[in-house]
Structures are given as structure tokens and as C-alpha cells.
């Protein structure tokens, strides 16, 4: 099993999807597969002249295309740790309404006296 990642990033957000495939592709091969999957997706779009389409717009569809037509499968994680990234991890009041249980757990554990 070989794990692959596709996604996008911007100044405000990012999204990444991890997929796996039984076959090992090098970087160039994987990029060509992504380009083909994106082309397949856009064939189904009615694109108007001057319309702007970003990878963010099709990212999810490309991942689904890789699964449907290229033999990729979704990675099932045994556990995850994803928290709101702007909050101060040492202050439970910072971004108080955007914090979740995992972030609060981290803050509490970091405030405990450390043992060497």
C-alpha cells in the first residue's frame, strides 16, 4: 500500500486528502494522474467564457475521481488530531468559542507541571 496526498493551500485555508493505492507511483506519474482526473472532471462542466475555476473548486471532485476511476482508496485513520490552529495553546480563554475538546485537552496537559 502506498499513500498519496492531494490538496490546495492559500493564505486563509488549506485542504488535503490522503488516498492509497496498491501501486507505487513516482511524483511525475502521480501529477499526470491528477491532471487526467481534473480533465475528466472538467469535461462534465459547462464552462462559460472568462469563468474562473480554481483547484479548490474541484479538489473534492478530483479525489472522488481518483477513487472511482483510478483505483485509489480513502485512507482510514485510526485516530486524528485536528484543532483550530489560531488559538494560543497555553490559554484556554483565547478563541474561547472556537476551541474544541482536543484543543482544550492539549492546553490542560501543557499547563500541568512537567516531569523530567
Report CA-CA distances (Å) from 109 to 6, 79, 92, 103.
33, 19, 11, 10
pLDDT score for 45: 84
Q: Where are the domains of the chain?
A: 2-74, 81-116
In this prediction, residue 44 carries a pLDDT of: 82
Listed in sequence order, the residues at least 6 apart from 95 whose beta carbon sits closer than 8 Å to its beta carbon are: 84, 86, 87, 88
- Give domain 2-74's CATH architecture: 2-Layer Sandwich (3.30)
81 has which bridge partners?
none
Q: Residues of the chain whose pLDDT is less than 70?
A: 113-116
Give the predicted TM-score (pTM) of the model. Answer: 0.77
Amino acid at each position: 500500500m502506498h499513500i498519496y496526498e492531494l490538496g490546495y493551500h492559500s493564505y486563509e485555508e488549506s485542504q488535503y486528502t490522503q488516498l492509497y493505492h496498491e501501486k507505487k507511483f513516482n511524483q511525475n506519474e502521480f501529477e499526470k494522474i491528477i491532471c487526467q482526473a481534473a480533465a475528466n472532471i472538467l469535461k462534465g462542466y459547462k464552462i462559460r467564457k472568462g469563468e474562473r475555476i480554481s483547484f479548490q473548486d474541484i479538489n473534492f471532485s478530483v479525489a472522488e475521481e481518483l477513487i472511482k476511476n483510478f483505483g485509489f482508496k480513502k485512507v482510514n485513520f485510526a485516530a486524528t488530531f485536528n484543532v483550530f490552529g489560531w488559538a494560543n495553546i497555553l490559554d484556554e480563554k483565547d478563541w474561547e468559542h472556537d476551541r474544541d475538546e482536543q484543543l482544550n485537552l492539549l492546553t490542560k496537559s501543557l499547563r500541568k507541571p512537567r516531569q523530567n
